[in-house]
């Protein structure tokens, strides 16, 4: 087993520290995983946040389309524990109502809030309540004059919009700013974040907007967010998927763990399978994940578990794994560090593997 839980190979760009509720982002704080609720009723929102908390979602954003929702933030906060971000579009009064009801952060898109005076009203209220504002620049709602200048919402147009609004808000005497600068085009998003990160030092929230769902959404988000994180850019992330918020959080953690930006205490690796495969590798991975969740297993140090398709090559190909399994023809094989240590009935392979892991 390795002594170090995870290694740090990425030089993170250091940003200003900003407090959101009881959580700190930016500076050298861990990169946090955020999601957004997808429920409509207040009780369903609370239930969804509680589920997300149980899988370690660290910041939650909720859509605030009306005053009923803005006022319900008080109740939502009482019944959940992670910081709640109110997502506001068009109506600045909803932002003010959300702040007065305890929102830990406001996300506004200055381009659609109705002008400088309305932004100022939100900024003053946030200042009074000492909460940060995320300035969410988005390719879908770029100011008309920038669209005319650039022709389309390219990276430079997003950056110019971000700089204008950051400067405008700073001039209002406010500096608890978090910034996002998203496009549905992954490459434009990467270019925009690269540029803005060299010009400002506020924390950056990363995401690919309208990334779609399923495999396409996961790939777009992973490539976009992963590329930026690998370059040291980003303080919080949200994998925006046309799917469940639970999926968003799980993929978010996988991206961070893949880059060793968050602890990866249990790493499951598996062979891609080939014509020699004798077991259902995918099914075994799911069973192992389920068992590990059931026992809430927390190893003293990082472990790697390999699930391999055949006994001929499996143990050798996975000799760097701490534990491994393979099987076929009714038999299961448990191996440690590439050496076969046990033969068991195939149906018992996962339970015996768990026993071996828990012994360590």
Residue 271 touching ligand SF4 (CB under 6 A) = yes
Q: How far is the CB of 59 from ligand SF4 (least distance, A)?
A: 39
Residue 309 touching ligand SF4 (CB under 6 A) = yes
Q: Which is nearer to ligand SF4, 9 or 274 (CB)?
A: 274
Residue 274 touching ligand SF4 (CB under 6 A) = yes
Helix axis angle for 155-171 and 186-197, nearest 10°, is: 40
Q: Which is nearer to ligand SF4, 48 or 322 (CB)?
A: 322
Q: Which is nearer to ligand SF4, 319 or 343 (CB)?
A: 319
Residue 308 touching ligand SF4 (CB under 6 A) = yes
Residue 273 touching ligand SF4 (CB under 6 A) = yes
What is the rounded distance in angstroms from the CA atom of residue 175 to the CA atom of residue 178? 9
132: nearest Cα among 110, 159, 99? 99
Tell me the CA end-to-end span of the chain in Å, nearest whole number: 10
Residue 277 touching ligand SF4 (CB under 6 A) = yes
229: nearest Cα among 208, 250, 199? 208
The set of residues, in sequence order, having a beta carbon less than 8 Å from that of 155 and lying 6+ positions away, is: 183, 188, 189, 191, 192, 195
Binding test (CB under 6 A) with ligand SF4, winner from 113, 137, 237, 310: 310
Residue 173 touching ligand SF4 (CB under 6 A) = no
Q: Which is nearer to ligand SF4, 75 or 319 (CB)?
A: 319
Q: Which is nearer to ligand SF4, 210 or 285 (CB)?
A: 285
Q: Which helix (H) or strand (E) is 255 found in, with range?
A: helix 245-258
Residue 276 touching ligand SF4 (CB under 6 A) = yes
Binding test (CB under 6 A) with ligand SF4, winner from 151, 173, 272, 330: 272
DSSP helix/strand/coil, 154: coil
Work out the burial of residue 27: count CB atoms within 10 Å of its CB; fewer than 13 is exposed, 13-18 middle, 19 or more buried: middle
């Amino acid at each position: 087993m390795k002594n170090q839980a995870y290694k740090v190979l990425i030089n993170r760009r250091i940003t200003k520290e900003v407090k959101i509720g009881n959580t700190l982002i930016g500076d050298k704080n861990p990169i946090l995983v955020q999601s957004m609720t997808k429920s409509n009723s207040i009780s369903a929102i609370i239930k969804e946040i509680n589920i997300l908390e149980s899988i370690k979602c660290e910041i939650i954003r909720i859509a605030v389309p009306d005053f009923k929702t803005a006022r319900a933030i008080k109740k939502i906060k009482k019944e959940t524990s992670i910081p709640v971000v109110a997502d506001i579009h068009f109506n600045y009064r909803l932002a003010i109502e959300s702040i007065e009801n305890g929102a830990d952060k406001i996300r506004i898109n200055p381009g659609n809030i109705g002008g400088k005076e309305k932004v100022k009203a939100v900024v003053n209220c946030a200042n009074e309540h000492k909460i940060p504002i995320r300035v969410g620049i988005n390719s879908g709602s770029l100011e008309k004059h920038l669209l005319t200048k650039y022709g389309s919402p390219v990276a430079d147009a997003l950056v110019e919009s971000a700089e204008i609004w950051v400067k405008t808000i700073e001039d209002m005497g406010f500096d608890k700013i978090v910034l996002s600068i998203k496009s549905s085009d992954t490459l434009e998003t990467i270019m925009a974040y690269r540029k803005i990160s060299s010009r400002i030092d506020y924390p950056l929230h990363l995401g690919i907007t309208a990334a779609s769902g399923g495999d396409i959404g996961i790939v777009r988000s992973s490539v976009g967010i992963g590329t930026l994180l690998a370059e040291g850019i980003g303080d919080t992330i949200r994998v925006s998927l046309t799917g469940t918020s639970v999926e968003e959080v799980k993929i978010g953690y996988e991206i961070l763990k893949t880059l060793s930006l968050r602890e990866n205490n249990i790493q499951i690796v598996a062979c891609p399978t080939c014509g020699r495969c004798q077991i259902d590798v995918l099914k075994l991975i799911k069973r192992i994940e389920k068992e590990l969740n059931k026992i809430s297993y927390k190893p003293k140090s990082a472990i790697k578990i390999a699930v391999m398709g055949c006994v001929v090559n499996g143990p050798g190909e996975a000799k760097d794994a701490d534990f491994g399994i393979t099987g076929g023809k009714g038999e299961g094989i448990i191996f440690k560090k590439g050496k076969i240590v046990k033969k068991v009935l195939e149906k018992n392979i996962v339970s015996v593997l768990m026993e071996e892991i828990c012994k360590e």
